Amino acid sequence: MPFSSRNLIIVVVVAAIAYKLLVDRNESFPPIQPDQDTVLVTGSSSGIGKHAALSLVKEGFTVFAGVRCPEDGEAILKSAQDFDLDISKLSPIILDVTNSDQIR
């Protein structure tokens, strides 16, 4: 089943509710430290995923960018270079989350 905008809205709402419940319980979260934290972004071939991956690199995170094919990996690295980002912090990986063999 394709991931629709309706599903995205549901995921965001559920995440917001979970966050609110944790905050209300006075749960503390460890501080985010871009220079020490690593992030996996799926859907980095285009759109929001690509923008998120590049934005996180800009903020100093080490990013593993899940792309569908090697050409998409080359494209995101070129985009990072075009925006003068530190490409040593960006590692494209072939990852198709719709393929269960690739996510095990």
3-state secondary structure 11-80: HHHHHHHHHHHHHHCCCCCCCCCCCCCEEEECCCCCHHHHHHHHHHHHCCCEEEEEECCHHHHHHHHHHH
More confident residue, 16 or 58: 58
pLDDT band (50, 70, 90) for residue 100: confident
pLDDT band (50, 70, 90) for residue 23: low
Residue 1: predicted pLDDT? 44
Residue 18 pLDDT greater than 80, yes or no: no
Handedness of CA 74, 90, 47, 83 (dihedral sign): negative
Mean pLDDT, rounded, for 83-101 = 89
Helix (H, G, I), strand (E, B) or coil at 70: helix
Residue 81: predicted pLDDT? 97
Q: Which helix (H) or strand (E) holds 93?
A: strand 90-94
Residue 5 pLDDT greater than 70, yes or no: no
Give the span between the Cα atoms of 82 and 54, in whole angstroms.
11
